[in-house]
Amino acid sequence: MPIYEFRCKKCKNVFESLILSPADEKNLSCPKCGSKKSQKIMSVFAGGKPNCSSCSATSCPPGCSCH
């Protein structure tokens, strides 16, 4: 199923939506504030923990400021 993540441009809420056609994305609204202005964002693949981008660990140690 084509489930995509979006970020609302108004309230910055991140939400998921099932998009089966271009009309579904056009009529999309934020479930938190109702705004019709959102941006599709990259999702994290559910295949394990990604490496930390600055410390190369599988999880950030206390005090890591990479996120």
Residue 23 domain-assigned (yes or no) = yes
Residue 33 domain-assigned (yes or no) = yes
User: Domain range spanning residue 21?
Assistant: 3-41
Q: What is the percentage of the chain residues whose pLDDT exceeds 90? A: 55
Looking at the predicted structure, is the pLDDT value of residue 47 above 80? Answer: no
Residue 27 domain-assigned (yes or no) = yes
pTM assigned to the model: 0.62
Looking at the 3D structure of the chain, how many domains does it have?
1
Residue 52 domain-assigned (yes or no) = no
Residue 48 domain-assigned (yes or no) = no
Specify whether the CB–CB gap between 21 and 38 falls below 8 A.
no
Residue 46 domain-assigned (yes or no) = no
The 3-class secondary structure across 21-63, one letter per residue, is CHHHHHCCCCCCCCCCCEEEECCCCCCCCCCCCCCCCCCCCCC
